[in-house]
Each structure stands twice: as structure tokens, then as C-alpha cells.
Amino acid sequence: MVAENAERIRAQRVALGRCSSGQLTSVEEQGRIIDFQCNEFTLAYYERYFNHGLRILHCDPHSVSLCVALPLGLTPKYRNQLAEILFERIGVQSIFFASQPLVGAFSSGKPTCLVVDSGHSYTSLYGVDDLYPERSTELIYSIGGRDVDEYLKSLAGHQLRDSTAGDINYIKSRFCGISPSPLTEAALNEKSNKRKPCQMLDGQELLLGIERQLAPEVIFNPQLKGFNEKPSLESAITQSVGNLTEKKSIEILKNVVLSGGNMKFKGLRERLQKVLPNSRISCHPEGELAVWRGAAIFASMPTFEQMVVSKQRWSEHGELIIQKKWL
């Protein structure tokens, strides 16, 4: 079994391809390949990506069934294109596609919950009721760690102008956190905004003040970065269960599970607990491995081999079987 925790790897590199115009462009955005038809560069990128994971796991694709965890919001046509690459270019024996939040719920220890998974480029929400996926709760929007990175750099100015992605991640993990109460940019000019030394791994010392809390505030207030039409985290959670019955929404919201690198800020869980007092907010026990562990549990179920799609069945039914088997 091979499960794909794409978001954790994606945050560590930038994928580029060359389209027909000759210009360099991103191969992926919001957890998906932007254009399968762009050219051979895009297809080769995805093929290398899967083969790299298979080599690390010492798996022969011709003799294993792949459980592939995918972001929400992918169309049946898109998933069918992924299946074509896996069957035709990599030569896998059989596959099963499951959504990342769903398998994250499998490893959360909470069969009825709402999983909020936020990574580098987007945030997704998915509710499960006794591990049964509630499709109407699917929600995805493009607020992620990348937005925190960009806002932090703009707030800090020249100090972070030449910083690498690794530098920014280090600052976020060591020095940034969520304020107990809402912040605005007015806090930058307040007398209480005292700058403190932040020592980097190379010994360089930066002086950062309220920026350390204001940057991740975009998770709760996207308008700080000019995203006037994107929901705050608490609004997205409420919106996600809006189409459920009142009884079911109350049950699912009793447990809100946070996963993904962008949900790891100090104070985030406590802040969300204040605005959602009737929910029990918890961080996923598996951390960044939530999707991987969940897919491993899912693929270990006795019924898994009966659920997978073989190349023969895919050749016969195509997109229809991929849509039918999607969880």
C-alpha cells in the first residue's frame, strides 16, 4: 500500500513546467496539476513524483494496490486523468482514490468530526458521521501557509526581503503564534509593539515585533491581505455544516480536528475554541502524518482489496468507475 501525503512534500519545493508559450509556469496549484495537456514536462513531473515515493517505500507498482489521498475539489475528469497516468505510465496494478480529509478522519480517533486540513496553498474541510463521509460538508478555499509567508515578508520589510522558504518556515515555527484576540495592522504602530531578537540558524539576528502574531492572523481575518471574499476560519467551519440537519451539524461540530502545517501555530487551537465554545477543538494526534496514517488504516481494512479499481475495470468503464469509487 502506498498513500500520498502530497501537501507536506509540496510545501518544500516549487514545481515548474514549460507550456506551449515557452514561459515557465507552475505545474500545480491548490493540490492539483494545473494542465495535464500542457506538455510532456507536466506529465513527466507527476510520473517522477510517484516513482520517487514508490522507490522510498521499496514498492513495485506492478504488484501493489495504491491508496492515493487527493485534495477535495477535483472533478471526476481530473481523477480519471490521474488514473490514466498511474495505469498507463507507471503501470500500477490497482488504485483507490480517497479524499485527504476523509483519511485524516480515520487516523484522528474521532469517527464523528469535522476535519480542517490547511497546508501550503489551501484549506479544506470535510465532515464525517461515524466515518461516513458527509459530501455536503466539502469546502475548499485558497488560504494557506503561503499567504502567511507572503504577509509576514511584507510586514517585516527589508529584514526578510532575501529570506528563503526555509527561513520563513523556521520563523513561523519558532517565533510566530496566534493572538488570543483579533489584531489589525494598527497594532504595528502601538507603543506596546516591542521588537524582540529572533536568532536564525545561521546566527543572524532579526528584530520582529507584533508581525509574529499579525502574519498568521490572516487565517482568522483574510481581509488583512486583501482577500475580502474569502471566509475566516470560524466562518468556513460554520459554512461547511450549513446544509446538514441541525442535529447532525451539532454532532459533527462537537469535534473539530485540525491538521496540516498551517494549523500548527501556537495559540490557534485556543483562539478557535473561544469563538466556537460548543465545539471541542483538537489538533490531530498524528500531526503532519495525519493523511498518511489514515490512508494506511484505510488500506489495511479487510474490504480494501474489494474496493480498488483494477486496470482492466478502468479500461472497461473509464471515468464512470473512478467517480463511483471516489470517497
Residue 159 pLDDT: 92
Highest mean pLDDT among 48-52, 224-228, 238-242 belongs to 238-242
154 pLDDT exceeds 80?
yes
Cell of 253: 461540530
Give the whole-angstrom CA distance, residue 22 versus residue 76: 29
Structural contact between residues 216 and 268, judged by C-beta atoms closer than 8 angstroms: yes
What residues does 29 pair with on adjacent strands? 32
Give the whole-angstrom CA distance, residue 284 versus residue 292: 12
Residue 25 pLDDT: 44
Mean pLDDT score, 236-263: 95
Per-position DSSP letters for 205-252, written without gaps between them: EEEE-THHHHGGGGGT-GGGGT-TTSPPHHHHHHHHTTTS-HHHHHHH
Mean pLDDT score, 216-240: 93
Give the whole-angstrom CA distance, residue 183 versus residue 72: 31
Pairing of strands 94-99, 113-118: unpaired
Residue 61 pLDDT: 84
Q: Which CATH architecture has domain 6-100+291-325?
A: 2-Layer Sandwich (3.30)
Give the whole-angstrom CA distance, residue 186 versus residue 244: 39
Of the candidates 266, 296, 295, the residue with the CA atom closest to the CA atom of residue 283: 266
Give the whole-angstrom CA distance, residue 237 versus residue 257: 11
- Provide the residue ranges of all domains of the chain, joining segments of one domain with +: 6-100+291-325, 108-285
33 pLDDT exceeds 60?
no
In what helix (H) or strand (E) does residue 311 lie, and over which residues does it extend?
helix 311-317
Which range has the worst mean pLDDT, 16-20, 154-158, 161-165, 225-229? 16-20
Residue 72 pLDDT: 79
pTM of structure: 0.81
In what helix (H) or strand (E) does residue 103 lie, and over which residues does it extend?
helix 100-106
* Residue whose grid cell is 498511474: 86
Long-range contacts of 190-194 (CB under 8 A, 24+ apart): none
For the segment 104-138, what is each residue's pLDDT rounded down to a tens digit? 998 999 999 999 999 888 899 999 999 888 989 99
What residues does 2 pair with on adjacent strands? 66
For the segment 35-85, what is each residue's pLDDT rounded down to a tens digit? 555 456 667 777 888 888 889 988 888 888 899 988 877 788 888 888 988
* Higher pLDDT pick, 30 / 317: 317
Give the whole-angstrom CA distance, residue 294 versus residue 313: 26
In what helix (H) or strand (E) does residue 133 lie, and over which residues does it extend?
strand 132-141
Give the whole-angstrom CA distance, residue 213 versus residue 227: 18
* Higher pLDDT pick, 25 / 313: 313
Could you tell me which CATH number the domain at 108-285 has? Answer: 3.30.420.570
21 pLDDT exceeds 80?
no
**Cα 209 to chain centroid, rounded:** 28
For the segment 312-325, what is each residue's pLDDT rounded down to a tens digit? 999 999 889 988 88
Of the candidates 180, 283, 272, the residue with the CA atom closest to the CA atom of residue 235: 272
Residue 31 pLDDT: 52
In what helix (H) or strand (E) does residue 290 lie, and over which residues does it extend?
helix 290-299
Structural contact between residues 63 and 93, judged by C-beta atoms closer than 8 angstroms: yes
Read off the pLDDT band of 29 (50, 70, 90): low
Structural contact between residues 43 and 51, judged by C-beta atoms closer than 8 angstroms: no
In what helix (H) or strand (E) does residue 259 lie, and over which residues does it extend?
strand 255-259
Give the whole-angstrom CA distance, residue 8 versus residue 12: 7
Residue 70 pLDDT: 86
Residue 57 pLDDT: 85
For the segment 186-218, what is each residue's pLDDT rounded down to a tens digit? 887 776 678 899 999 999 999 999 999 999 999
Q: What is the dihedral of CA 324, 45, 125, 115, to 10 degrees?
A: 90
Read off the pLDDT band of 14 (50, 70, 90): very low
Read off the pLDDT band of 28 (50, 70, 90): low
Percent of the chain residues topping a pLDDT of 90: 52
* Higher pLDDT pick, 24 / 265: 265
Residue 40 pLDDT: 65
Read off the pLDDT band of 6 (50, 70, 90): very low
